[in-house]
A = this chain, B = another copy of it.
Amino acid sequence: MPNFSRRTFLAGAASLALASRRSFAARSDLEPIYAEIKKRHQEAIERIQRWIHQPTIAAENVGGEEGVKLAMDLFGEAGFTNVTRIPTDGKPGIFAVYDAGAPRTVGLYFMYDVKQADASEWKLGDPWKASIVQKPGMGKCIIGRGAVNQKGPEAAFLAALHAIRGAGKKPPVNFVLVAEGEEEIGSPHFPQVVRAPQVMQALGKCMGIFMPSAGQAIDGTTDVTLGAKGVIEAQIISSGEKWGRGPSKDVHSSLRAMLDSPAFHLVQALGTLVTPDGVDPAIDGWFERVKPLSAAEKKMVADVVAHGNEQQMKDQFGVKHWERDVPFEQAMERLCGWPTVNIEGLVGGYTGQGGKTVLPHQAVAKMDFRLVPDMTVDDCLHKLRAHLDKRGFNDVEVVMTGGYDPNTTAPDAALIRAQEQTYRRAGQNPLLWPRGGGSWPGYVFTDAPLKLAAGHFGLGHGSGAHAPDEYFLVESENPKLFGLDDMVKSFVDYLHDLAAIRS
């Protein structure tokens, strides 16, 4: 789920002056394309459904081969050429180009995998059936795993290319497309795709890269996010066997009188990772590379805070206080500018109903560490290891399961200025947000040697990524929300803004 930004938290809380979607100010020169979009509405819906029908789940090793083939077919049908499978040590990536003979080239980042789905939890239908369901106060939605994350928005972008070609036109920019099939497991092999020489060379010509996304919150607001925190997901494991002190299997808990406890060993190791009040990272050297928010970034936060509803956010999370009772603005600055150490889950010993008198041989903390510029995954992993070693926790294992470096894109990048322009033309009043709290592998584009501007773009709405009943709105009855055709239009417009914006 790459596009996790401020809006996700402010959903329902914004009090921005909202323009109706009906105010979408179409350009007259693009009218033939808009007409084609309308004509191809059903075709565009069916494309989304066709894609959802193919489950491709890296975490479960499901549908990989079918998934990569279908994605390559979809790209070819939309006009991409040189559609190439890029082998990796995991699922293959895809590389494709679209030469429109335009002066500028734009990068596209797609994923063809989806999160797992447990059909028994879905009230609105089979996750792979892609049924059309009427949602009250919203309109007709496609229900299915991947509907909003990310097949719906990606297929909407492909629909824009079909419409352009259907109207007898060429896209106003060229494209370089890179796709992966492991986004939902943390993109472990995506660098191998991007670092392939022909991919690297092609991306080097791009003015920036974006991922199609349904950018409207349920209240219709949209924002422009200038990067993402990095993340390390890791398991911290304390085991008696490794330690040589606790038991090597679960034993009767009376033996606690003579045997050490790997679970308490874990508790003590975890306790050293945060400040005594449990709030900030306390890992040796953790803040060495932390770059404070700039004055410009603080200004963006202040703008968002001025438009936000603090009490509504607190109610949404069920809290009475922000950490350390800091004021709202400072809490929001922490959200985009401060590293975190989080326990995602604790698992050890007996986890069933009631109790069981065992001394467990092992305990595990599932952790995530969010990173901000200029922290890096490698440096932080090294610091975490050194921190634990120094305190006598040499035996406590740190097993990284996924990680991204943070990424940042400048607000004055042409890619970003074009976004703002297109959003404003569509009646939106997008606020800038310095950095999403969630993470996506944008660093492979923003870091050297490519140093591309990177982001997400797309009007339209959907929700339920990673949850049951994921949906993507295709025919809107809500004046604040864009349906599929208007979303496709937003892509057409954006491409033209990208072609025209001063560099």
Contacts and interface: CB of A to CB of B under 8 A. Distances in A.
Given A254-B335, A267-B271, 13 more contacts: A4-B254, A245-B321, A251-B317, A258-B322, A259-B317, A260-B319, A318-B361, A343-B360, A343-B363, A345-B352, A345-B358, A346-B351, A356-B366
Interface in A135-173: none
30 contacts: A233-B357, A244-B321, A245-B320, A249-B317, A253-B344, A253-B368, A254-B335, A254-B340, A255-B317, A256-B341, A257-B336, A257-B340, A258-B326, A258-B332, A259-B323, A260-B321, A263-B346, A264-B278, A343-B349, A344-B349, A344-B359, A345-B348, A345-B351, A346-B348, A346-B363, A347-B347, A347-B351, A354-B366, A354-B401, A357-B368
Given A255-B9, A258-B332, A240 B319 contact: yes
A184 to B, nearest CB: 10
Nearest to A349: B345
A345 B335 contact: no
A342 B368 contact: no
Shortest 10 CB-CB contacts between residues of A and residues of B: A248-B318, A254-B437, A345-B350, A263-B343, A345-B349, A346-B348, A258-B331, A256-B342, A256-B340, A346-B346
A437 to B, nearest CB: 3
A253 B342 contact: yes
Contacts of A401: 354-355
B318 A255 contact: no
A317 B253 contact: no
A338 interface: yes
B254 A370 contact: yes
A343 B348 contact: yes
Contacts of A363: 343, 346
A8 interface: yes
A235 interface: yes
Q: How large is the interface on A (under 10, 10 to 19, 20 to 34, 35 or more residues)?
A: 35 or more
A480 interface: no
Contacts of A331: 257-258
A262 to B, nearest CB: 9
A299 interface: no
Nearest to A273: B264
A386 B229 CA distance: 41
A439 B355 CA distance: 14
Contact of A334 (B59, B258, B266, B276): B258
Contacts of A185: 354
Contacts of A356: 344-345, 366
A77 interface: no
Contacts of A355: 233-235, 344-345, 366-368, 401-402
Contacts of A247: 317-319
Given A240-B319, A257-B370, A338-B257, A343 B264 contact: yes
A340 to B, nearest CB: 4
Given A252-B4, A259-B319, A366-B355, A267 B343 contact: yes
A12 to B, nearest CB: 15
A15 interface: no
Given A252-B437, A265-B278, A346 B347 contact: yes
A279 interface: yes
A252 B265 CA distance: 27
Interface in A263-290: 263-268, 270-271, 274, 276, 278-279
B349 A252 contact: no
Contacts of A366: 349-351, 354-356
A438 interface: yes
Contacts of A249: 317-318
A323 B252 contact: no
Indicate the member of A244, A254, A355 with the most B CB atoms within 10 Å: A254
A370 to B, nearest CB: 6
